[in-house]
């Protein structure tokens, strides 16, 4: 339940706001002036601050300034009868998320608060990812760890692991293992009639389903082989178009989200300049995003949120997918560092459960395909755990972050 600090000196208005917030499921702490509100802010944790401008002791503008000295990212909304354009502009320049002119209706107020809280949540998750990334870079970039892993790998151990995973993958769920079992069963149950064989309809349908699954695996092999061996048929597109691809996928994959009742939250693309470009194959990049979203959905806690962020870092466009992982049969939480490179290897799966309804292969090929595509683009895919310590009222929450790093297209100017 979100806690909201309200600074309002008009008693009647304050009570109306309290009632509206209570009815909407929020906890409202109402203060009659700016000084009382600031003291309450220093002693509490608030998801949002809603303040009037004209108040005794400390007015709204000063309250905003004082709060931002403590937390510059605090989401603040102004609810005031002052409808002067200059006052509104000054408030927005001071870092106010929104300005609402009194009187306002209940529906509009709650909608704007909901949007503000969603923005606050996205900013919080972004801060977590940035903090973890700094810590990560202090040790070594994941790309170098990957290379070191390849160089220093114990090949006998790797081969044993690979073939163990192949055995698990091909003998579990749809595919080759079930095909073998079905064919053995058919050989015992098939009936010969007048020179022809007849089999049960249900068995035939299972056989057809698993044949199609095996066909999909072989198609994925072919696709990876093609990506590795052929020239990439790429085009230059704007970074904002990558955002549009994800926006379309968010709508397209709504049914998959509903399997675990997850929700996708795509941060605003205000960090993306309309002039920045990348050199990509549209369909391949869409496939990468789709696989990473499916991966997030499959391994997320039910009813948890999945966040997507865009950032520009030096000469790269970074797209990060952050989810709250569910536990697995090995009691492994998220992606421990020792697995950070291994999960991209073909057929490797930390969690060997089969997930129905996601229209993808449960054979440890999704991340492999994504990795090969991005590396073909001259980019990097990296994965790591991040720990959320920002909510002091609960224990830290483990999250998993997968980041795609694509090089920006460099424009050469003729002299």
Q: Environment class of residue 175 by beta-carbon count within 10 Å: exposed (0-12), middle (13-18) or buried (19+)?
A: buried
> Of 84, 89, 33, whose CA–CA distance to 63 is shortest?
33
Q: Is 142-156+231-407 a CATH 3.40.250.10 domain? A: no
CB distance 246 to 308 below 8 Å = yes
CB of 74 closer than 8 Å to CB of 67: yes
- pLDDT at position 248 is 95
75 DSSP assignment: -
In the chain, domain spans:
3-126, 142-156+231-407, 171-229
Positive or negative torsion for Cα 252, 257, 263, 266: negative
Q: Which residues of 31-65 are buried (b: 16+ CB within 10 A; e: fewer)?
A: bbbbbbbbebbeeeebbbbbbbbebeebbbbebbe
Length of the chain: 415
Which DSSP state fits 408? B
Where the chain has pLDDT below 50, the residues are: 135, 138-147, 150-164, 166-167, 170-173, 329, 392-394, 415
Specify the CATH number of the domain 3-126: 3.40.50.2300
Report DSSP state, residue 51: E
Task: Determine if the pTM surpasses 0.75.
Answer: no
pLDDT tens for residues 130-139? Answer: 655 554 554 4
284 and 231 Cβ atoms separated by less than 8 Å: no
How far is the C-alpha of 211 from the C-alpha of 178, rounded, in Å?
Answer: 9
Residue pLDDT, tens place only, 160-193: 444 445 445 544 445 555 555 556 556 666 677 7
């Amino acid at each position: 339940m979100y806690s909201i600090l309200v600074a309002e000196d008009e008693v009647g208005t304050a009570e109306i706001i309290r009632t509206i917030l209570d009815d909407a499921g929020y906890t409202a702490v109402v203060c009659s002036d700016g000084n009382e509100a600031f003291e309450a802010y220093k002693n509490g944790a608030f998801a949002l601050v809603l303040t009037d401008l004209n108040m005794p002791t400390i007015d709204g503008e000063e309250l905003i300034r004082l709060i931002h000295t403590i937390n510059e990212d605090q989401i603040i909304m102004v609810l005031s009868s002052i409808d002067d354009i200059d006052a509104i502009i000054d408030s927005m320049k001071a870092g106010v998320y929104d300005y609402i002119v009194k009187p306002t209706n209940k529906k509009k107020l709650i909608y704007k608060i909901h949007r503000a809280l969603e923005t606050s949540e996205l900013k919080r998750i972004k801060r977590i990812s940035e903090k973890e990334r700094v810590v990560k870079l202090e040790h070594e970039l994941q790309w170098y760890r990957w290379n070191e892993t390849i160089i220093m790998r114990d090949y006998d151990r790797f081969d044993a692991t690979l073939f163990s995973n192949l055995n698990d993958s091909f003998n579990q769920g749809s595919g080759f293992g079930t095909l073998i079992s079905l064919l053995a069963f058919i050989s015992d149950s098939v009936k010969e009639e007048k020179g022809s064989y007849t089999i049960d309809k249900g068995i035939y349908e299972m056989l057809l389903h698993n044949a199609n699954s095996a066909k999909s695996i072989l198609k994925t092999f072919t696709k990876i082989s093609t990506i590795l061996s052929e020239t990439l048929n790429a085009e230059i597109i704007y970074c904002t178009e990558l955002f549009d691809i994800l926006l379309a996928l968010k709508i397209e994959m709504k049914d998959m989200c509903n399997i675990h009742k997850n929700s996708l939250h795509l941060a605003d693309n205000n960090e993306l300049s309309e002039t920045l470009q990348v050199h990509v194959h549209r369909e391949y990049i869409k496939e990468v995003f789709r696989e990473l979203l499916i991966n997030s959905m499959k391994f997320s806690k039910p009813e948890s949120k999945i966040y997507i962020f865009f950032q520009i870092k030096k000469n790269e466009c970074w797209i990060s997918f952050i989810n709250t992982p569910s536990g697995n049969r090995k009691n492994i939480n998220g992606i421990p560092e020792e697995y950070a490179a291994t999960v991209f290897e073909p057929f490797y799966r930390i969690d060997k459960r089969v997930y129905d309804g996601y229209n993808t292969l449960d054979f440890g090929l999704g991340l492999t395909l994504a990795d090969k595509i991005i590396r073909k683009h001259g980019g990097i895919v990296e994965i790591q755990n991040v720990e959320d310590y920002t909510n002091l009222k609960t224990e830290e929450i483990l999250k998993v972050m997968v980041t795609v790093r694509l090089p920006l297209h460099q424009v050469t100017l003729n002299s």
